[in-house]
């Protein structure tokens, strides 16, 4: 009998977008076909920290790749941020918005009045990523927060970077950090890895068997899924690499490690652990074999590259030792 696939035992799949389905305007190889196949047996949703666009705009891009998607299938960090905002200021209040249409549309839909300047006396500041956000927008947020140290400041997400067609660019976390340096206080975040956005997704899709979160970032997608009590699949097509996985702490370790999304439909190999009388620890995944003696980790048999990563991650994480204290064979992550 073959091992279960990552899709077995779940009825909802939640996929990140940037770095999982597409990078910039281009679909990631195999991602569309793999998710179309998954949608035949599970409900498919999309959870994105990118606050620059509306759910309708995101759904249109997804559908453009041939993967059917309605706006209701898209959960955004602005939607989560609005839930936080609604708990701290009354409906109809003025809100200084730093961001684009994806954020302003949700603020207006919730009954708040969008303003752009500190001298308009906003009741809160809400901040999200948009390509046009510049110094003047960050400065106005800073001025408002300096005038009233108790003013609520909510940010959609903490992503330091965002993958685009040309490469990796600064994300909302970098822009929020600029305001933080000016005002000396921290924002309240709502997107991944915070539980708020996963609560929105869970309420919308109502999993009965369970949900699987697919992401390319350990510090947002995988950490958030772990906090929300969801299974997670880390796919190595975006921001984080095999090396990042090996160095990750316990809070960011995924249930599954995938080279690409085709592996959603393949039996997931068993991780076999053993230790001999000389205290040599061995981990086997498929045909890949990795061994550890004290702080030295070496490849005994490479097998498939993704199985080698899985075996290397298991033996490093099992050791309880910090990555900087280990002598790790570079073949595992190169």
Pairwise CA distance, residues 223 & 217, whole Å? 9
Catalytic residue from among 8, 11, 16, 119: 16
Pairwise CA distance, residues 149 & 124, whole Å? 11
Catalytic residue from among 8, 11, 18, 119: 18
Q: What are phi and psi of 136, to 5 degrees?
A: -60, -40
Pairwise CA distance, residues 289 & 312, whole Å? 9
What does the block give as tokens for 284? 């086997």
Reduced to 3 states (helix: H, G, I; strand: E, B; else coil), residue 30 is: coil
For tokens 């666009």, what's the residue?
53
Active site residue 18: yes
Active site residue 329: no
For tokens 């995101």, what's the residue?
58
CA distance readout (Å), 333 to 178, 241, 245: 33, 8, 9
3-state SS of 125-192 is EEECCCCCCCHHHHHHHHHHHHHCCCCCEEECCCCCEEEECCEEEECHHHHHHHHHHHHCCCCEECCC
- Residues annotated as catalytic are 16, 18
């Amino acid at each position: 009998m073959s091992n279960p696939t990552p899709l077995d035992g779940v009825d909802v799949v939640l996929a990140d977008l940037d770095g999982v389905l597409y990078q910039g305007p281009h679909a990631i190889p195999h991602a569309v076909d793999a998710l179309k196949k998954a949608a035949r047996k599970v409900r498919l949703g999309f959870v994105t920290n990118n606050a620059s666009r509306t759910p309708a705009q995101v759904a249109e891009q997804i559908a453009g790749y041939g993967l059917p998607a309605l706006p209701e299938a898209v959960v955004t960090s602005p939607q989560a941020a609005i839930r936080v905002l609604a708990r701290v200021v009354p409906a109809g209040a003025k809100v200084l918005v730093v961001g684009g249409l994806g954020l302003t549309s949700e603020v207006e839909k919730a009954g708040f009045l969008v303003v752009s300047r500190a001298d308009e006396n906003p009741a809160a500041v809400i901040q999200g990523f948009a390509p046009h956000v510049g110094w003047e927008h960050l400065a106005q947020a800073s001025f408002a927060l300096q005038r009233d140290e108790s003013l609520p400041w909510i940010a959609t997400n903490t992503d330091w970077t965002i993958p685009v067609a040309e490469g990796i660019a600064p994300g909302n976390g970098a822009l929020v950090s600029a305001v933080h340096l000016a005002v000396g206080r921290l924002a309240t975040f709502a997107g991944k890895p915070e539980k708020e956005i996963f609560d929105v997704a869970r309420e919308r899709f109502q999993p009965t068997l369970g949900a699987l979160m697919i992401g390319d970032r350990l510090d947002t997608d995988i950490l958030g899924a772990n906090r929300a009590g969801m299974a997670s699949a880390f796919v190595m097509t975006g921001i984080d690499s095999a090396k990042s996985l090996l160095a990750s702490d316990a809070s960011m370790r995924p249930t599954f490690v995938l080279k690409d999304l085709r592996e959603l439909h393949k039996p997931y190999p068993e991780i076999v652990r053993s230790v001999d009388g000389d205290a040599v620890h061995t981990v086997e995944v498929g045909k890949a074999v990795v061994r550890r003696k004290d702080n030295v980790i070496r490849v005994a048999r490479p097998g498939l590259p993704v199985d080698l990563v899985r075996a290397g991650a298991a033996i490093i994480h099992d050791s309880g030792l910090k990555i900087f204290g280990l002598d790790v064979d570079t073949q595992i992550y190169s």
